[in-house]
Amino acid sequence: MLATVISLAMLMAAQQDPPLQDPPRQDPPETRVDDIVVDGRPLRAVADEFVENVGEAPRGRGLARWYRPLCVGAVNLNPDVAQPLLDHIARVAEDLGVQSGDVGCRPNVIMVFTDDPRAVAGAMIEADPKGFRLGGRTYHLSSDFRDEFVEGDRPVRWWTTSVPVDSETGQRATRLPGDVDAEGNPAAPYIFSTSASRLNSQVRDDLARVYIIVDVNQVSGVSTRQLADYLAFVALAQVDPRGDVSRQASVLNVFADPASSPGFSDWDLAYLRALYRPGAPMRTAQGAVAEGVAAEVARTIRNAPAE
């Protein structure tokens, strides 16, 4: 009898459904992400490359910055559009320690919006030829840059004037054609050195004027914020029109790839902060700016959230 019960139990167990099993594992659908470029060079080497490609000063001079109040004017732009743009540039400048001029000030940054930038650039040079060639290459880039300012096809083009200045007096530190003394003889400014040394100079490089021409037919693909950051950058620094920063994130790439440049990148902000940092040498060499850029980027990385 016991054997019969055991046999029936075994038969019933064999007829039961097999235990439930997990369904076959399926891999999640593939997600395509943008390519990631890993740069294994030291941070300082990357900063050196970035600064070299962004900054361009006249021969023998340092990278200039604004010491006098900044006054930006916009031409051929609806006031409702122009005012937020001007306010944004002023805020960026203020964050860097640059004061803004009073209401009604004479613009030293002039932005012209036009659908014929070549004609405007040519008219500017014809109306003020000396303003585009003050005297040699001390104040401007070479003449081929000036030719490109007229004939180029960039969405935004600019022409920058910088002036070597005696930091003690605020007076111009180099001679211009036509400078004469009280007797009419050719003369140059006198500099009475009180703080210069082999490591630092009493002469600094001041931004004096920037012309910016915006081709309205070529900027429709970017947002107002992207354009505002771009214009702020070229208004506040001597930016190389031929510089290639495509290997790094920068608002200077915005017209080539608007989706990848929402505005100022960490590198852009690091560049401006290094250029305008308090205590910077009077003659701001590219190496000094690169050192500041590397320090700023490293600080940003350290302070970034863990994710």
pLDDT digits (tens, 9 = 90+) for 112-130: 999 999 999 999 999 988 8
pLDDT digits (tens, 9 = 90+) for 208-248: 999 999 999 999 899 999 999 999 999 999 999 999 999 88
User: Of 48-52, 153-157, 277-281, which gets the smallest average pLDDT?
Assistant: 277-281
* Three-state SS at 148: helix
Mean pLDDT of the 137-145 span = 82
Q: Residue 282, Cβ neighbours under 10 Å: how many?
A: 17
Dihedral of alpha carbons 177, 182, 184, 188, sign: negative
Is the pLDDT confidence value at 281 over 80? no
Element holding 262 (H helix, E strand): none
Domain ranges of the chain: 41-173+200-303
195 CB-near residues (< 8 Å, 6+ apart):
167, 168, 202
* Count of H-run helices and E-run strands, the chain: 8, 4
Is the pLDDT confidence value at 284 over 60? yes
Instruction: Calculate what percentage of the chain has a pLDDT beyond 70.
Output: 74
Mean pLDDT of the chain: 82
Element holding 140 (H helix, E strand): none
Mean pLDDT of the 187-205 span = 64
What is the C-alpha separation between 66 and 252, in angstroms, rounded?
20
Q: How confident is the model at residue 31 (pLDDT cuts 50, 70, 90)?
A: low
Name the DSSP class of 164: E
> In the sheet where 72-75 sits, what is the strand order?
72-75, 109-114, 203-215, 156-166
Q: How far is CA 132 from CA 54, 138, 141, in A?
A: 21, 12, 10
Name the DSSP class of 111: E
The CATH number of 41-173+200-303 is which of 3.20.20.70, 3.40.50.300, 3.40.390.10, 3.30.56.10?
A: 3.40.390.10
pLDDT digits (tens, 9 = 90+) for 55-85: 998 888 889 999 999 999 999 999 999 999 9
Nearest alpha-carbon partner for 231 in 119, 130, 81, 99: 81
8 Å CB contact between 297 and 43: yes
pLDDT at 136: 61
Dump the DSSP string for 169-230.
T--B-S--TT-B-TTS-B-------SS--SS--SEEEEEEEEEEEEETTTSTTS-HHHHHHH
pLDDT digits (tens, 9 = 90+) for 142-167: 888 989 999 999 999 999 999 888 77
